[in-house]
Structure formats: C-alpha cells, structure tokens
Structure 1
Amino acid sequence: MSAIGDVCHAAAMVNRIRRARPDIRITWIIGKIEYQLLNGMDGVEFVIYDKKTGRKGMQAIRQQFKAQRFDVLCVMQIALRANLLSRAIRAKVRLGFDKSRSKEGHSLFINKRIARQQHPHVLEGFMAFADAMGIEPVEKPAWQLPLSESDLAKGITLKQQYGRYGIICPAASKAERNWTAEGYAAAAKHLADKNIPVLLCGGPGPLDRTIGDAILAAGAPIKDDLIGNTTLKELAGVLAEASLVI
C-alpha cells in the first residue's frame, strides 16, 4: 500500500486488529517511502515494495512468499498495480472492496467483499475490512505511530520557539485537491493578523517546492519553511504540536 494518508488510516485499522487479537500475525506490503513513517510499528512484519520495480518487483514478492499461505489477504487498494501485486500472495480469503468501489478489475482479484457503505471516509472504508474479519469494534481509532523522542524533538523545539503555531501543508498527490497559492497566502495573512505564526511543510519533491514557492511569492507571511527539511516522522511530530493544520 502506498500514499501517506492511506497508510496512516490503515495503521488505525491494523492497531484495531492488534488490540483485539494480539495473537494474529500481520504482514504488511508497503511502499518504501511510507515505510519510513511506520518503521518500528509493533506486531507487524513489513515487506517493502518499490513500485518503480514493476513486474520484476512483483516477481520478487512472489518468490519471497511462495512457501506461505495466509488466512486473509486484505486488498485495500483498487489500483491495477495493487491488484496485480496481490496475485503474488496466496490466501484462503482475498478480501476487497464492495462492488460499487471495485475499479480497475478489482473484482477479479478478490473472493470476498467488505459491506457496502454510503459515502465513507477513507478511514471508515478501511475499518470495514476489520469488520469483515469479525474484529471487535473500537469507540475511538488509535494510530499510535512509532515516533521516538528524537522524532518529536523538532516539533517540541518549534513549540518552544513560537508558542502556538499554524502550519500549511499545501501539496496533495492529485492536482485537483490543491488550493490556490493566493488562497493559502490569504489564510496565512489572516492567522498572522491574529498573532499566530505560520509554517510551511512538505516533502522533498518538486511539486511541494513549486507550490511552496508560489505561496511565498503571493506574499504569505511564513515564519519557517520546512518543505523538504523534515523526515516523515519528524513531520508527524511537527504536526502534533501545531494548533492548526491547513
């Protein structure tokens, strides 16, 4: 599974399983970038898959698991790449999404579905996998990211430096989800007028940097530009200390 947001929501589902059934062995095939955030998570064996390796990488996964057969395989992405990769894993139950959300041939790779939901949040959709496995429900999800004191230190330092602060995370993986630079700049100015320092954050990729530069060029009063200057775990600590995240 890839995409930072998806793995965060999936982590809550995995923690629900671990809490209810600590005897269950969990193996998670995960992207190499996303692994940087969840590395160290208790009770989970991670297998890193680099999507850039394509068919060769899928063959390596197949070879690694050729002697294993799982009770349940949760196919929690509908992308064709994830569907094809799932064929490298032998499992009695191949659990996937309901028919209304099955795209890119998803139905061909599963033999059991989660219950249909009306306009679910991503987290609710993932929790439905635990429901389908008969895992006891929880009143409140728990993410419990494996963050060390050193991971949290940057956020604590910023809190000490600025007091309460807001942070803008402007770059989404899909362009249609990105707001305008002028909109972000206006929001930053509004917060600054209320004496709330504003920070920028993002990954090291060119999209994050381009959008960040556009926000700065639009006159946003940014106190600290953290784009590309934190690890994923450090960023989690920075967001945890923020009073407001946009």
Structure 2
Amino acid sequence: MYHNILIIKMSAIGDVIHALPVAHALKQTWPDCRITWVVERAAYDLLTNNPDIDEIILFDKPQFKSLAGLIKHAPALARLLKSRRFDLALDLQGLGKSAAITWLSGAPKRLGYCNMRELSHWVSSPVCGAHKDGHVVERYLDVVRALGCSVDEVVFPIHITLEEQGQAEIVARQAGLDISQRYVVLAPGTNWPTKCWPTAYFAELADMLYDASVIPVIIGGPGDRRLADEIVAGAAIPPVDLTGRITLKQLAHIIKRASAFVGGDTGPMHLAVAVGTPVVALFGPTDPRRNGPYYGSNIVLQSNRNCLLCWKRTCEKICLAPIEPDKVLAAVHKVARRK
C-alpha cells in the first residue's frame, strides 16, 4: 500500500481530464491514501473540490521560464514537495519539466507511462501495459494497474459546486440563454489550426439548429474571440456567445446541461465526455482511437482526406473542410436523442 502519492499532470485541459480516473482508481484501491496533484493554472479549476484529491500544488510555469526564476522559485518548490514525504510519484506528463518535479519530490518509487519524452524515462520507469497503443485514458490507467489497482469502472470525478452552478446560470442568462431550454454547445477553438472546423460551417450549423428549435451556444477561451466573432457575423441569427466569459467549472455546468456538444480534439470536448453530455467530435490530423471521446453516446466524424492522421499542427489544406454541416446536424440529432 502507498500512503502519500504524487500525481504530476500539469496541462493541457484535456490531458488533465484524461488522468482524473487515475486518482479515482487509487482512492478506490487505497481509500486512506493521500493524493497530491501538481497542475498548471489553466487546468487548476478542474481539480478543486475533488473527493479523490487531497491537495493541489499549483505549478506557476511563468516563474520557472528563466534562469533567475528557477534560482528563485525551485528551492521553495523542492522543500514543499519533500515535506510531503511521498512514497510514490506518477509522472503522467512524461516531459522534462514533469521529470524535474518527480525528481524533486524525493519519492522512492517513480512511474510513468509509455512514450515518455525529453529523457523523463531516466527519472521514472515507463509502464507499457496492455493498452500501450490504445486510448490515452487506458494508457494512464495501465500505470495504476501495474501497482495492483483494479479498475472496475472508469470515473472522471469533476465536482461542480452549487455556487459554481449558480454563477454559470447567471452568466448564461446575461448572454441570453436559459439553460432549461434545449441548446447545443459549439466549440470552434482548438490548440492546432488543423483541428479547427471552418467557422463558416459553424455559422451554417447554428442556423440549422435554430431552424430545429435548438439554441446554438458558442464557448471558448479569450483566445477564441476571433473565431466566435466570425461565427456570429456569419450566422443569420447570432448564437448565444459565452466565449471568454466563464470559468472551467462553470463551463462544465453549461456543457452538462446541454443536449449535445460539437467540437474538435480539444479540452472542452473531453470535458463534455467527463460530465456525460453526448459529443459529436470532428477529427482529422489526430487519431480518435487515442484522443477521441472516451465513452458515452458519442459520434466521431472524420475528414476523408488521404492524409488523415498526419499529426501536423499546420497545413495549407483546411483539414476538416470535407465534414459538411448537414452531416454534423444529423449526428447532433442522433446523439441528442440518446441523452
């Protein structure tokens, strides 16, 4: 049995969501263990009020970007980590920065998952289990299976407080959305240009949803403002726009109450899966067998280009353009009926 366990999974939002079942599996196996999670600011909210996580350590990445920052902040981080006397550290990031944190923790047993990079496998032992070529959620769970944890059920523990629910509904009403109405969440933003579905298609889909008496709701971070503006400008009736207006946990509540979710390989898509909302996922350069919606009543629509699964971040082609709005609308109606 392990008593003090450190999980290092700092970013991105979707990756942190994928790792949540690890904490749940550990707690199910060893209910009295103490779990500490190191995370960056962008995904911090996902871990708050989580019954499976006892402590969250914020890794403020900008503080460590320069040599002066490292000299100033690394000793305090090391003291904090070592004071917890971890007996197990799980590096689920598999990069140089996570390897450094794993090493500083002083944990005598250190594990990672298959395909660790940037020499992180020198610090933690990679676990290549039965799912090493499968979905990333299963790859992470193979690490705790190697410790003797039985994963009877894959659970994504995200706890949305009543206050967070209320705040989300206030912001939604201010934007023109009553969440008791039928609505579909549209997520145009992604971290790779090749993962983006054309904004003109989102605008066309929004009009089709209005015609079907369903309210389209755009979500995204501040960096998605341009995409949202293009959709609003291109639609005959402007969709409800929540871009940059809500926190992650408020977003989780909005998505949870939706009839369906439409988006690419991005954090909010995985958040929709975690809270149980049916997803229509749009894929091109990345592999849905690894990164797609993990479970639930979901549909994956893939581009039909011959360069599918190229894993390129940029390209002269609009990768997802072959996926037409009417196909997405039909998929939305299909998954919404399942909810």
Q: Do these two structures clear the TM 0.5 threshold for a shared fold by scoring above it?
A: yes
Match of 1:182 in 2: 200
Counterpart of 1:87 (choices 103, 125, 132) is: 103
What value does the CA root-mean-square deviation take over the aligned residues?
A: 2.3
User: C-alpha displacement at 1:225, in angstroms?
Assistant: 0.5
So what's the TM-score if we normalise by structure 1? 0.87
Kindly tell me: are residues 114 and 220 of structure 1, through their superposed partners in 2, closer, same or farther at Cα, counting changes over 3 Å? farther
- 1:197 paired with 2:215, answer yes
* Distance of 2:131 and 2:234 partners within structure 1: 41
Where does the alignment leave 5 or more consecutive residues of structure 1 unmatched?
Answer: none
Match of 1:145 in 2: 158
- 1:45 paired with 2:55, answer yes
SS in 1 for 2:138: helix
Match of 1:164 in 2: 182
Post-superposition CA distance 1:98-151 (Å, at most 9, x none): 2xx122222222135242535322222222222122112123x22231211122
SS in 1 for 2:104: coil
Counterpart of 2:252 (choices 230, 236, 243) is: 236
Kindly tell me: are residues 175 and 80 of structure 1, through their superposed partners in 2, closer, same or farther at Cα, counting changes over 3 Å? farther
Post-superposition CA distance 1:4-23 (Å, at most 9, x none): 11222222221222123211
SS in 2 for 1:173: coil
* Distance of 1:117 and 1:74 partners within structure 2: 17
Kindly tell me: are residues 148 and 46 of structure 1, through their superposed partners in 2, closer, same or farther at Cα, counting changes over 3 Å? same
The higher relative CO (CA closer than 8 Å, separation ≥ 6) is in 1
Amino acid paired to 2:62: K
So what's the TM-score if we normalise by structure 2? 0.65
Which contiguous aligned blocks of 4+ residues in structure 1 show a shift greater than 4 angstroms? 155-162
Identity in percent: 27
Match of 1:36 in 2: 45
- 1:128 paired with 2:142, answer yes
User: C-alpha displacement at 1:48, in angstroms?
Assistant: 0.9
Kindly tell me: are residues 231 and 66 of structure 1, through their superposed partners in 2, closer, same or farther at Cα, counting changes over 3 Å? same
Aligned residues: 241
Counterpart of 1:22 (choices 16, 19, 31) is: 31
Amino acid paired to 1:138: D
Post-superposition CA distance 1:177-226 (Å, at most 9, x none): 222212222322332222211001112x3x21122112223326443110
User: C-alpha displacement at 1:84, in angstroms?
Assistant: 2.6
Where does the alignment leave 5 or more consecutive residues of structure 2 unmatched?
Answer: 1-9, 65-69, 263-339
Q: Is the 8 A contact 2:169 2:179 kept in 1?
A: no
SS in 1 for 2:108: strand
User: C-alpha displacement at 1:95, in angstroms?
Assistant: 0.5
Post-superposition CA distance 1:146-172 (Å, at most 9, x none): 211122233597675562110111212
* Distance of 2:161 and 2:126 partners within structure 1: 38
Q: Is the 8 A contact 2:88 2:108 kept in 1?
A: yes
Q: Is the 8 A contact 2:11 2:43 kept in 1?
A: yes
